[in-house]
Amino acid sequence: MPALGCCVDASVSPPLGYAFSWDSSLPAPELFSSGVPPATNAAAVTTGSHWSTDLSSALYRVDGWGAPYFSVNSSGDISVRPHGTDTLPHQEIDLLKVVKKASDPKNLGGLGLQMPLVVRFPDVLKNRLETLQSAFDMAVNSQGYEAHYQGVYPVKCNQDRFVVEDIVKFGSPYRFGLEAGSKPELLLAMNCLSKGSADALLVCNGFKDTEYISLALVARKLLLNTVIVLEQEEELDLVIDISRKMAVRPVIGLRAKLRTKHSGHFGSTSGEKGKFGLTTTQILRVVKKLDESGMLDCLQLLHFHIGSQIPTTELLADGVGEATQIYSELVRLGAGMKFIDIGGGLGIDYDGSKSSNSDVSVGYGVEEYASAVVQAVLYVCDRKGVKHPVICSESGRAIVSHHSILIFEAVSASTTHVSTQPSSGGLQSLVEILNEDARADYRNLSAAAVRGEYDTCLLYSDQLKQRCVEQFKDGSLDIEQLAAVDSICDWVSKAIGVADPVRTYHVNLSVFTSIPDFWGFSQLFPIVPIHRLDEKPTMRGILSDLTCDSDGKVDKFIGGESSLPLHEIGSNAGGDGGRYYMGMFLGGAYEEALGGLHNLFGGPSVVRVLQSDSPHSFAVTRSVPGPSCADVLRAMQFEPELMFETLKHRAEEFLEQGEGEGEDKGLALASLTSSLAQSFHNMPYLVSSSSCCFTAEATASANANNGGYYYYSEDNAADCATEEDEIWSY
């Protein structure tokens, strides 16, 4: 890029009104010579003229956080390996092709779903569960452990019906169960486990009242392997009383407050001052009361939790060892102990750094985790002469995080840079209306430009802008003149290579709804363009969502970056019609359950994708549009049908007062009310004209065939069934 020059006679004071110009004889500033804004850490690989998919993979750390499920393919798209390391080359799924299938209009063979979009891969879910089970089986066999491992999935991580049902189905050969923390979760767990293994555990955690305990005992009557875990000492009296009235012999667990805890964000739930659990004194009182009631044999499980995202296996082993000491003491006191439930804590490496000093990474893998647990339990039990218990874990984050990808689109990118030099005449007229101080700044700026003193140029440019802002505030400078000054100063900054290179990419998303943990406590997730990764990203950007709040943005990224390397949007680069898709990965746990209705943006559309032998290696087995405007209004106690009737009546009154023939008024009313009704049925997010199925033609077709609007649901890959909904009278 040429440096800044000045067309003046340097032997005299610069006259008012001279212009800046590009001097192509001077070298380009080093800062921008690479064509990519300066960056740190991983982004440094953007320098140089050559680009490849391998460089993109390194830039976005895909091989770190994505292994073994995600990679960059030769087309420059994110590729999904649904079976992990066992995925064959022909089984890999191009994520962009899935997005196109979901979002393309129906008349082009797509599903007509609107962005944002959650893509679920049940095959990945199955592989995660099998990987966890395999790791514990290997640890048990290699260390001579004399009991087995059987996990439970805490449904709070993601209560979606198909996610829970899949886990029960995939986990049935391994006696995999469920954990519930509330009455609704208990109901769904009872329902799903009715089709699972008879040995699968139904662990009942959380605060409990009479109704909760009664429901858990009903589950036991239905021959579900239910364990009521005491979180508070007072719950024991309810369990004893209700179980006697219902004539059900309960299986009881208790949650211990360990001294072991970790210092990260997720460690605050553990330790002596943790929210849940019993102290050693309370545990002894529970044992005594159960003994006096003739129910000490009912106490069979010890549970603890030292926090999510446990950073090291050393900390894990310390906590497991402490808990096993308590377990052994309960055995000594006569309890009928069988299970030790180590809770959650198996961490996810969100940034691929394998660091033990970060809330977004862990310094171990699944195999190391399982080995540390088995070894810690084995050591204490053998030393105490206690029979090895069945090991249970509640590793929800580790099971569901990878299987779900949030896809969203960048619809525009803002920039304050000016691309052309201001004209000489424009500068002359502008300078004439400046006050003397501002003119002095302008003359100093001009002289510094002649001398090539770029730092001084920037100083006087800033002073010039500030003085003109003050003139604007006191009314002596109009808005057109202020805009001209802004353009001059921005042009100077760009010319000397210090203009802010970070753009704001406006994305079709609500951070509060779809990435609540980022907004709540700065949890980082990998965010990557899912295509065009065979091109060099020439921009850096932050992501700004659709909400009306300044917090609705993503400005922190993995690797300690405050911006993300991105591509230009708005062109047909990559053959995608100018559309620019990004994916947020590893968000399958908690984000959907925690998302709210800020600005009344509802949840995303969802597709469920299985690996298949089809030409594109995948089949969409289910698709569900995101909540409509009517759906989110109902959630806030509005009645969309009555709202529509009110607005329709208002339209009738308005048209009745206007001019025109009766037939024209009737057509106008029909058109207006049809548009209003369609607005209730559409999603709250921005609609792309190239993919939206809610065009006027689509509306007319829907009215004729589907009761008023499209609602698309695919129950299997070959057979598409359209669900009908209520008809709104137009």
In tens, the pLDDT along 377-431 reads 999 999 999 999 999 999 999 999 999 999 999 999 886 554 556 666 666 777 7
Query: Which range among 82-86, 145-149, 504-508, 572-576 shows the weakest confidence by mean pLDDT?
Result: 572-576
pLDDT digits (tens, 9 = 90+) for 435-446: 788 888 888 888
* Residue 696's pLDDT band (cuts 50, 70, 90): very low
pLDDT of the residue at 35: 34
Q: What is the mean pLDDT of residues 22-28?
A: 30
To 5 degrees, how large is the angle CA 449–CA 454–CA 458? 95
Beta-sheet pairing, 117-120 with 580-584? unpaired
pLDDT of the residue at 425: 66
pLDDT digits (tens, 9 = 90+) for 616-649: 899 999 999 999 999 999 988 899 999 999 999 8
Residue 708 has pLDDT above 90, yes or no: no
List beta partners, residue 23.
3
pLDDT of the residue at 416: 52
pLDDT of the residue at 702: 33
* Residue 496's pLDDT band (cuts 50, 70, 90): confident
Inter-residue contact 176 to 152 (CB < 8 Å): yes
Residue 655 has pLDDT above 70, yes or no: yes
Residue 6 has pLDDT above 50, yes or no: no
Beta-sheet pairing, 299-303 with 252-255? parallel
Burial tier of 453 (Cβ tally within 10 Å: 0-12, 13-18, 19+)? middle
H-helix segments, 275-332: 280-292, 313-332
Q: Is the dihedral of CA 588, 593, 596, 602 positive or negative?
A: positive
Single-letter amino acid code for the residue at 386: V
Catalytic residue among 548, 629, 692, 720: 548
Residue 697 has pLDDT above 60, yes or no: no
Cα–Cα distances (Å) from 204 to 106, 155, 199, 210, 247, in that order, read 45, 11, 15, 13, 19
pLDDT of the residue at 630: 93
For 594, other C-beta atoms within 10 Å of its C-beta total: 16
Long-range contact set of residues 215-223: C-beta below 8 Å, sequence gap at least 24: 215/183, 215/186, 215/187, 215/190, 216/186, 216/250, 217/242, 217/243, 217/246, 217/248, 217/250, 218/246, 219/186, 219/190, 220/248, 220/249, 220/250, 220/251, 221/246, 221/248, 222/190, 222/194, 223/198
* Residue 718's pLDDT band (cuts 50, 70, 90): very low
Widest distance between CA atoms in the chain: 106
Inter-residue contact 248 to 224 (CB < 8 Å): no
Phi first, then psi: what are they for 420, rounded to 5°? -125, 150
Residue 44 has pLDDT above 80, yes or no: no
pLDDT of the residue at 266: 58
pLDDT digits (tens, 9 = 90+) for 524-553: 999 999 999 999 999 999 999 998 888 889
pLDDT of the residue at 50: 83
Residue 28 has pLDDT above 80, yes or no: no
pLDDT of the residue at 572: 55
Average pLDDT, the chain: 83
Query: Which range among 64-73, 223-232, 574-583 shows the weakest confidence by mean pLDDT?
Result: 574-583
Task: Kindly report the pTM of this predicted structure.
Answer: 0.82
- In order, the DSSP letters of 495-510 are HTT-S--EEEEEES--
Residue 38 has pLDDT above 80, yes or no: no
| Catalytic status, residue 468 | no
The residue whose two tokens read 């036991």 is 220
Inter-residue contact 542 to 450 (CB < 8 Å): no
Cα–Cα distances (Å) from 451 to 10, 245, 456, in that order, read 8, 94, 10
Displacement of CA 687 from its chain's centroid (Å): 21
HEC sequence for 392-452: ECCCHHHHHCCCEEEEEEEEEEECCCCCCCCCHHHHHHHHHCCCHHHHHHHHHHHHHHHHC
Residue among 457, 463, 453, 434 at smallest CA distance from 445: 457
How much of the chain exceeds pLDDT 70, in percent?
A: 81
Cα–Cα distances (Å) from 96 to 102, 128, 537, 545, 576, in that order, read 10, 23, 18, 22, 10
